[in-house]
A = this chain, B = another copy of it.
Amino acid sequence: MKEQVFTYEQLYTFTHTVFIKMGCSYADATIATKTLLSADIRGIDSHGVARLGGYVRLWEAKRINANPSIKVVHETPSTAVVDGDAGLGLVVAPFAMQVAIEKAKNVGTGWVSVKNSNHFGIAGFHAMMALEHDMIGIAMTNASALVAPTFSIEKMLGTNPIAVAIPAGEQPPFVADFATTTAANGKLEILQRKNADTPLGWVQDKEGNPSTDANALKKQGALLPLGSDREHGSHKGYALGSIVDIFSAVLSGASYGPWAPPFPAYIAMPENMPGQGLGHFFGAMRIDAFRPAADFKANMDNWITRFRAAKPAEGYERVLIPGDPEREMEAVRMKEGIPIVASVVGDLKEVGDRFGITLQSLIN
Protein backbone atom coordinates (compact mmCIF):
# COMPACT_ATOMS: atom_id res chain seq x y z
CA MET A 1 0.00 0.00 0.00
CA LYS A 2 1.36 3.39 -0.99
CA GLU A 3 1.52 5.81 1.87
CA GLN A 4 2.27 9.50 2.11
CA VAL A 5 3.74 10.99 5.28
CA PHE A 6 2.38 14.24 6.72
CA THR A 7 3.34 16.25 9.75
CA TYR A 8 0.80 16.76 12.51
CA GLU A 9 0.77 20.48 11.66
CA GLN A 10 -0.09 19.77 8.01
CA LEU A 11 -3.01 17.53 8.94
CA TYR A 12 -4.07 20.02 11.61
CA THR A 13 -4.20 22.96 9.20
CA PHE A 14 -6.11 21.01 6.57
CA THR A 15 -8.61 19.49 8.98
CA HIS A 16 -9.19 22.74 10.83
CA THR A 17 -9.87 24.53 7.55
CA VAL A 18 -12.37 21.84 6.52
CA PHE A 19 -14.31 22.22 9.77
CA ILE A 20 -14.30 26.01 9.38
CA LYS A 21 -15.61 25.65 5.81
CA MET A 22 -18.37 23.39 7.15
CA GLY A 23 -19.45 26.34 9.24
CA CYS A 24 -18.03 25.40 12.63
CA SER A 25 -16.95 28.20 14.95
CA TYR A 26 -13.20 28.62 15.34
CA ALA A 27 -13.35 27.15 18.84
CA ASP A 28 -15.40 24.13 17.72
CA ALA A 29 -13.15 23.53 14.71
CA THR A 30 -10.15 23.58 17.03
CA ILE A 31 -11.51 21.05 19.48
CA ALA A 32 -12.88 18.84 16.67
CA THR A 33 -9.49 18.83 14.94
CA LYS A 34 -7.60 17.99 18.12
CA THR A 35 -10.04 15.21 18.97
CA LEU A 36 -9.96 13.69 15.49
CA LEU A 37 -6.17 13.83 15.07
CA SER A 38 -5.52 12.32 18.51
CA ALA A 39 -6.38 9.04 16.79
CA ASP A 40 -3.77 9.47 14.04
CA ILE A 41 -1.11 10.46 16.55
CA ARG A 42 -1.82 7.43 18.73
CA GLY A 43 -1.83 5.00 15.79
CA ILE A 44 -5.58 4.31 15.64
CA ASP A 45 -5.67 5.22 11.96
CA SER A 46 -9.26 4.07 11.39
CA HIS A 47 -10.64 6.80 13.68
CA GLY A 48 -8.59 9.82 12.53
CA VAL A 49 -8.44 11.87 9.30
CA ALA A 50 -9.52 8.71 7.52
CA ARG A 51 -12.99 9.64 8.80
CA LEU A 52 -12.88 13.35 7.93
CA GLY A 53 -14.69 12.75 4.63
CA GLY A 54 -17.31 10.74 6.47
CA TYR A 55 -18.11 13.65 8.79
CA VAL A 56 -18.32 16.02 5.81
CA ARG A 57 -20.75 13.70 4.01
CA LEU A 58 -22.91 13.43 7.17
CA TRP A 59 -22.96 17.23 7.30
CA GLU A 60 -23.91 17.39 3.60
CA ALA A 61 -26.72 14.91 4.33
CA LYS A 62 -27.85 17.30 7.10
CA ARG A 63 -27.23 14.68 9.74
CA ILE A 64 -24.59 16.85 11.43
CA ASN A 65 -25.27 20.37 12.68
CA ALA A 66 -22.13 22.55 12.38
CA ASN A 67 -23.52 25.11 14.83
CA PRO A 68 -25.14 23.10 17.58
CA SER A 69 -26.50 24.42 20.82
CA ILE A 70 -25.04 21.72 23.09
CA LYS A 71 -26.59 21.80 26.52
CA VAL A 72 -27.26 20.06 29.82
CA VAL A 73 -30.95 19.11 29.82
CA HIS A 74 -31.14 17.37 33.20
CA GLU A 75 -28.79 17.21 36.16
CA THR A 76 -28.10 16.38 39.80
CA PRO A 77 -24.93 17.24 41.74
CA SER A 78 -23.11 14.18 40.31
CA THR A 79 -24.93 13.54 37.01
CA ALA A 80 -26.11 15.20 33.82
CA VAL A 81 -27.70 14.41 30.51
CA VAL A 82 -26.30 16.40 27.60
CA ASP A 83 -28.22 17.00 24.37
CA GLY A 84 -25.66 17.30 21.56
CA ASP A 85 -28.12 18.97 19.16
CA ALA A 86 -26.74 16.75 16.36
CA GLY A 87 -23.36 18.49 16.62
CA LEU A 88 -20.10 16.78 15.73
CA GLY A 89 -19.44 14.05 18.31
CA LEU A 90 -15.88 15.38 18.22
CA VAL A 91 -17.19 18.57 19.87
CA VAL A 92 -20.12 17.21 21.90
CA ALA A 93 -17.98 14.62 23.71
CA PRO A 94 -15.33 17.00 25.11
CA PHE A 95 -18.17 19.32 26.26
CA ALA A 96 -19.82 16.45 28.13
CA MET A 97 -16.55 15.18 29.60
CA GLN A 98 -15.87 18.70 30.88
CA VAL A 99 -19.27 18.66 32.62
CA ALA A 100 -18.31 15.37 34.29
CA ILE A 101 -15.00 16.88 35.44
CA GLU A 102 -16.70 19.97 36.91
CA LYS A 103 -19.16 17.79 38.82
CA ALA A 104 -16.29 15.67 40.15
CA LYS A 105 -14.59 18.84 41.41
CA ASN A 106 -17.74 19.64 43.39
CA VAL A 107 -18.98 16.29 44.74
CA GLY A 108 -16.19 13.77 44.09
CA THR A 109 -17.45 12.21 40.84
CA GLY A 110 -19.33 13.25 37.72
CA TRP A 111 -21.32 11.05 35.29
CA VAL A 112 -22.74 12.31 32.04
CA SER A 113 -24.88 10.48 29.51
CA VAL A 114 -25.23 12.07 26.06
CA LYS A 115 -27.90 11.89 23.38
CA ASN A 116 -28.26 13.38 19.92
CA SER A 117 -24.57 13.02 19.05
CA ASN A 118 -22.58 11.05 16.50
CA HIS A 119 -19.10 9.47 16.27
CA PHE A 120 -16.77 11.02 18.84
CA GLY A 121 -13.34 9.85 17.62
CA ILE A 122 -11.34 7.69 20.02
CA ALA A 123 -12.76 7.06 23.47
CA GLY A 124 -9.31 7.29 25.04
CA PHE A 125 -8.93 10.98 24.15
CA HIS A 126 -11.98 11.91 26.23
CA ALA A 127 -11.08 9.65 29.17
CA MET A 128 -7.59 11.20 29.23
CA MET A 129 -9.06 14.70 29.74
CA ALA A 130 -9.48 13.72 33.40
CA LEU A 131 -5.79 12.99 33.98
CA GLU A 132 -4.53 16.55 34.40
CA HIS A 133 -7.12 17.05 37.14
CA ASP A 134 -5.86 14.02 39.11
CA MET A 135 -9.04 12.20 38.20
CA ILE A 136 -9.82 8.81 36.67
CA GLY A 137 -11.58 9.31 33.33
CA ILE A 138 -14.07 6.94 31.70
CA ALA A 139 -15.57 7.21 28.21
CA MET A 140 -17.77 4.94 26.13
CA THR A 141 -20.09 5.21 23.16
CA ASN A 142 -22.57 3.15 21.27
CA ALA A 143 -22.27 2.81 17.49
CA SER A 144 -24.17 1.38 14.56
CA ALA A 145 -24.84 -2.35 14.78
CA LEU A 146 -22.13 -4.67 13.40
CA VAL A 147 -22.01 -7.27 16.20
CA ALA A 148 -24.19 -10.34 16.72
CA PRO A 149 -25.01 -11.35 20.31
CA THR A 150 -23.99 -14.85 21.37
CA PHE A 151 -26.26 -17.48 19.69
CA SER A 152 -27.56 -14.91 17.17
CA ILE A 153 -27.05 -14.10 13.48
CA GLU A 154 -28.51 -10.61 13.71
CA LYS A 155 -26.36 -7.49 14.09
CA MET A 156 -27.60 -5.79 17.25
CA LEU A 157 -24.69 -3.87 18.80
CA GLY A 158 -21.87 -1.60 17.68
CA THR A 159 -18.22 -2.21 18.51
CA ASN A 160 -19.07 -0.07 21.59
CA PRO A 161 -15.66 0.87 23.00
CA ILE A 162 -14.71 1.51 26.63
CA ALA A 163 -11.82 3.72 27.71
CA VAL A 164 -10.47 4.14 31.23
CA ALA A 165 -7.57 6.52 32.01
CA ILE A 166 -5.91 6.35 35.42
CA PRO A 167 -3.20 8.78 36.57
CA ALA A 168 0.11 7.59 38.03
CA GLY A 169 3.02 9.49 39.59
CA GLU A 170 6.44 9.00 38.00
CA GLN A 171 5.06 6.42 35.58
CA PRO A 172 2.97 7.35 32.55
CA PRO A 173 -0.79 6.93 33.06
CA PHE A 174 -2.69 3.65 32.59
CA VAL A 175 -4.90 4.17 29.50
CA ALA A 176 -7.10 1.30 28.32
CA ASP A 177 -9.20 1.94 25.19
CA PHE A 178 -10.78 -1.03 23.46
CA ALA A 179 -13.74 -2.16 21.40
CA THR A 180 -15.91 -4.76 23.17
CA THR A 181 -15.47 -7.07 20.18
CA THR A 182 -12.69 -9.59 19.52
CA ALA A 183 -11.37 -7.33 16.77
CA ALA A 184 -12.25 -3.75 15.87
CA ASN A 185 -13.71 -3.05 12.44
CA GLY A 186 -10.57 -1.09 11.50
CA LYS A 187 -8.58 -4.32 11.66
CA LEU A 188 -10.91 -5.93 9.13
CA GLU A 189 -10.42 -2.98 6.80
CA ILE A 190 -6.64 -3.44 6.91
CA LEU A 191 -7.05 -7.13 5.96
CA GLN A 192 -9.50 -6.22 3.18
CA ARG A 193 -6.92 -3.90 1.63
CA LYS A 194 -4.37 -6.74 1.76
CA ASN A 195 -6.85 -9.32 0.46
CA ALA A 196 -6.04 -11.40 3.54
CA ASP A 197 -8.13 -13.66 5.77
CA THR A 198 -9.02 -12.98 9.39
CA PRO A 199 -8.13 -15.41 12.16
CA LEU A 200 -11.04 -17.64 13.20
CA GLY A 201 -13.05 -16.00 15.97
CA TRP A 202 -13.30 -12.46 14.60
CA VAL A 203 -16.37 -12.81 12.37
CA GLN A 204 -19.17 -15.21 11.53
CA ASP A 205 -20.97 -15.66 8.20
CA LYS A 206 -24.65 -14.94 7.63
CA GLU A 207 -25.66 -18.36 9.01
CA GLY A 208 -23.60 -17.85 12.15
CA ASN A 209 -20.82 -20.22 11.11
CA PRO A 210 -17.18 -19.45 11.99
CA SER A 211 -15.59 -17.54 9.10
CA THR A 212 -12.22 -16.09 8.08
CA ASP A 213 -13.65 -13.78 5.43
CA ALA A 214 -12.48 -10.20 6.01
CA ASN A 215 -15.47 -9.11 3.91
CA ALA A 216 -17.98 -11.09 5.99
CA LEU A 217 -19.79 -7.93 7.13
CA LYS A 218 -20.62 -7.06 3.52
CA LYS A 219 -22.17 -10.51 3.08
CA GLN A 220 -24.62 -10.33 6.00
CA GLY A 221 -22.06 -11.74 8.42
CA ALA A 222 -21.27 -10.11 11.74
CA LEU A 223 -18.43 -9.16 14.06
CA LEU A 224 -18.16 -11.32 17.19
CA PRO A 225 -18.24 -10.03 20.76
CA LEU A 226 -14.98 -10.21 22.78
CA GLY A 227 -14.54 -13.91 23.58
CA SER A 228 -15.50 -15.03 20.03
CA ASP A 229 -17.82 -17.92 20.97
CA ARG A 230 -19.78 -19.11 24.00
CA GLU A 231 -17.09 -21.57 25.04
CA HIS A 232 -14.54 -18.74 25.14
CA GLY A 233 -16.76 -16.22 26.90
CA SER A 234 -18.48 -14.31 24.06
CA HIS A 235 -21.49 -13.87 26.37
CA LYS A 236 -19.18 -11.62 28.44
CA GLY A 237 -18.25 -9.47 25.44
CA TYR A 238 -21.94 -9.35 24.51
CA ALA A 239 -22.79 -8.20 28.06
CA LEU A 240 -20.05 -5.54 27.97
CA GLY A 241 -21.23 -4.17 24.63
CA SER A 242 -24.80 -4.14 25.97
CA ILE A 243 -23.77 -2.23 29.10
CA VAL A 244 -22.06 0.39 26.92
CA ASP A 245 -25.20 0.65 24.76
CA ILE A 246 -27.49 1.07 27.78
CA PHE A 247 -25.29 3.56 29.69
CA SER A 248 -24.71 5.61 26.52
CA ALA A 249 -28.08 5.51 24.86
CA VAL A 250 -30.89 4.21 27.09
CA LEU A 251 -29.79 6.36 30.04
CA SER A 252 -29.67 9.49 27.86
CA GLY A 253 -32.54 8.92 25.42
CA ALA A 254 -30.35 8.29 22.36
CA SER A 255 -31.04 5.58 19.79
CA TYR A 256 -29.85 2.16 20.94
CA GLY A 257 -29.10 -1.37 19.78
CA PRO A 258 -29.95 -2.04 16.12
CA TRP A 259 -31.41 1.48 15.81
CA ALA A 260 -28.11 3.32 16.39
CA PRO A 261 -27.57 5.67 13.42
CA PRO A 262 -24.94 4.66 10.82
CA PHE A 263 -21.71 6.58 10.15
CA PRO A 264 -21.72 6.27 6.32
CA ALA A 265 -24.07 8.96 4.99
CA TYR A 266 -25.19 6.73 2.10
CA ILE A 267 -26.85 4.28 4.50
CA ALA A 268 -30.45 5.20 5.29
CA MET A 269 -31.30 6.07 8.87
CA PRO A 270 -32.99 3.20 10.77
CA GLU A 271 -36.77 3.28 10.83
CA ASN A 272 -38.67 3.90 14.07
CA MET A 273 -35.63 5.12 15.98
CA PRO A 274 -36.48 4.99 19.70
CA GLY A 275 -34.22 7.93 20.62
CA GLN A 276 -32.11 10.78 19.27
CA GLY A 277 -28.77 10.15 17.55
CA LEU A 278 -25.84 8.25 19.02
CA GLY A 279 -25.21 8.14 22.75
CA HIS A 280 -22.07 8.42 24.88
CA PHE A 281 -21.30 8.00 28.56
CA PHE A 282 -18.55 9.74 30.51
CA GLY A 283 -17.27 9.52 34.06
CA ALA A 284 -14.74 11.42 36.14
CA MET A 285 -13.66 10.36 39.63
CA ARG A 286 -11.45 12.62 41.71
CA ILE A 287 -8.67 10.50 43.21
CA ASP A 288 -8.69 12.46 46.47
CA ALA A 289 -12.40 11.72 46.84
CA PHE A 290 -11.10 8.28 47.85
CA ARG A 291 -7.61 8.77 49.29
CA PRO A 292 -4.77 11.31 49.09
CA ALA A 293 -3.68 11.57 45.46
CA ALA A 294 0.00 11.23 46.39
CA ASP A 295 -0.62 7.87 48.13
CA PHE A 296 -2.68 6.59 45.21
CA LYS A 297 -0.06 7.64 42.67
CA ALA A 298 2.74 6.02 44.64
CA ASN A 299 0.73 2.78 44.62
CA MET A 300 -0.01 3.16 40.89
CA ASP A 301 3.71 3.58 40.20
CA ASN A 302 4.29 0.38 42.16
CA TRP A 303 1.43 -1.39 40.32
CA ILE A 304 2.78 -0.36 36.91
CA THR A 305 6.39 -1.17 37.74
CA ARG A 306 5.44 -4.60 39.10
CA PHE A 307 3.26 -5.51 36.09
CA ARG A 308 5.91 -4.30 33.67
CA ALA A 309 8.35 -6.62 35.46
CA ALA A 310 6.04 -9.67 35.18
CA LYS A 311 7.94 -12.61 33.66
CA PRO A 312 7.44 -12.54 29.88
CA ALA A 313 6.63 -15.74 27.99
CA GLU A 314 9.34 -17.04 25.68
CA GLY A 315 9.48 -15.02 22.49
CA TYR A 316 8.20 -11.86 24.15
CA GLU A 317 10.42 -9.12 25.45
CA ARG A 318 8.12 -7.55 27.99
CA VAL A 319 4.64 -7.22 29.41
CA LEU A 320 2.81 -4.07 28.31
CA ILE A 321 0.74 -1.69 30.41
CA PRO A 322 -2.47 -0.47 28.71
CA GLY A 323 -1.55 2.75 26.89
CA ASP A 324 2.10 1.82 26.24
CA PRO A 325 1.76 1.10 22.49
CA GLU A 326 -0.22 4.28 21.77
CA ARG A 327 2.15 6.48 23.79
CA GLU A 328 5.16 5.02 22.01
CA MET A 329 3.46 5.54 18.65
CA GLU A 330 2.75 9.16 19.55
CA ALA A 331 6.43 9.81 20.28
CA VAL A 332 7.40 8.37 16.89
CA ARG A 333 4.72 10.12 14.85
CA MET A 334 5.24 13.57 16.36
CA LYS A 335 8.89 13.23 15.27
CA GLU A 336 8.69 11.31 12.00
CA GLY A 337 5.23 12.28 10.77
CA ILE A 338 1.98 10.43 10.21
CA PRO A 339 1.73 7.99 7.29
CA ILE A 340 -1.61 8.14 5.45
CA VAL A 341 -2.57 5.38 3.00
CA ALA A 342 -3.18 6.36 -0.63
CA SER A 343 -6.94 5.71 -0.52
CA VAL A 344 -7.34 8.10 2.41
CA VAL A 345 -5.13 10.73 0.73
CA GLY A 346 -7.45 10.43 -2.28
CA ASP A 347 -10.52 10.93 -0.11
CA LEU A 348 -8.93 13.95 1.57
CA LYS A 349 -8.21 15.44 -1.88
CA GLU A 350 -11.90 15.11 -2.72
CA VAL A 351 -12.84 16.75 0.56
CA GLY A 352 -10.40 19.56 -0.24
CA ASP A 353 -11.88 19.98 -3.74
CA ARG A 354 -15.36 20.17 -2.22
CA PHE A 355 -14.31 23.27 -0.29
CA GLY A 356 -11.79 24.71 -2.74
CA ILE A 357 -8.81 23.89 -0.53
CA THR A 358 -6.09 22.14 -2.52
CA LEU A 359 -4.32 19.34 -0.77
CA GLN A 360 -1.24 21.33 -1.79
CA SER A 361 -1.87 23.53 1.25
CA LEU A 362 -1.59 20.41 3.27
CA ILE A 363 1.88 19.65 1.99
CA ASN A 364 3.35 23.13 2.47
Residues of A that sit less than 8 Å from B by CB: 74, 76-79, 81, 107-109, 111, 113, 136, 148-154, 156, 164, 166, 174, 176, 178-183, 199, 201-202, 204, 207-208, 226-228, 231-233, 235-240, 242-243, 245-247, 250-253, 256-258, 274-275, 285-287, 289-291, 295-296, 299-300, 302-303, 306-307, 310-314, 316, 318-320, 322
Q: A76-B289, A78-B108 are in contact. Are A274 and B257 (CB under 8 A)?
A: no
Task: Evaluate contact between A78 and B81: CB separation under 8 angstroms.
Answer: no
Task: Evaluate contact between A291 and B237: CB separation under 8 angstroms.
Answer: no
Which of A204, A251, A300, A318 has the largest number of chain B CB atoms within 10 A?
A251
Q: Within the complex, which residue of B81, B226, B296, B316 is in contact with A151, where a contact is CB–CB below 8 Å?
A: B316
- Report how far A246 CA is from B302 CA in the complex, Å: 12
Q: Closest CB-CB distance, A115 to chain B, in whole Å?
A: 9
Q: Within the complex, which residue of B108, B166, B182, B318 is in contact with A111, where a contact is CB–CB below 8 Å?
A: B108
Task: Evaluate contact between A291 and B79: CB separation under 8 angstroms.
Answer: no
A312 partner residues in chain B, CB cutoff 8 A: 151-153
Task: Evaluate contact between A252 and B291: CB separation under 8 angstroms.
Answer: yes
Of chain B, the residue at the smallest CB distance from A107 is: B77
Given contacts A78-B78, A78-B108, A152-B312, 17 further A-B contacts (CB under 8 A): A77-B107, A78-B109, A79-B289, A111-B285, A136-B251, A149-B307, A151-B316, A174-B242, A176-B239, A176-B242, A178-B233, A226-B236, A246-B300, A246-B303, A250-B303, A256-B299, A257-B303
Task: Evaluate contact between A243 and B164: CB separation under 8 angstroms.
Answer: yes
Task: Evaluate contact between A299 and B231: CB separation under 8 angstroms.
Answer: no
Task: Evaluate contact between B149 and A296: CB separation under 8 angstroms.
Answer: no
Task: Evaluate contact between B113 and A79: CB separation under 8 angstroms.
Answer: no
Q: Closest CB-CB distance, A199 to chain B, in whole Å?
A: 5
A319 partner residues in chain B, CB cutoff 8 A: 149-152
A176 partner residues in chain B, CB cutoff 8 A: 236, 239-240, 242-243
Q: Within the complex, which residue of B164, B246, B320 is in contact with A174, where a contact is CB–CB below 8 Å?
A: B246
Q: Closest CB-CB distance, A306 to chain B, in whole Å?
A: 6
A235 partner residues in chain B, CB cutoff 8 A: 178, 320, 322
Q: Closest CB-CB distance, A4 to chain B, in whole Å?
A: 30
Q: Closest CB-CB distance, A228 to chain B, in whole Å?
A: 6
- Report how far A256 CA is from B208 CA in the complex, Å: 40
Q: A77-B78, A207-B314 are in contact. Are A251 and B286 (CB under 8 A)?
A: no
A246 partner residues in chain B, CB cutoff 8 A: 166, 174, 300, 303
- Report how far A319 CA is from B202 CA in the complex, Å: 19
A136 partner residues in chain B, CB cutoff 8 A: 247, 251
A183 partner residues in chain B, CB cutoff 8 A: 233
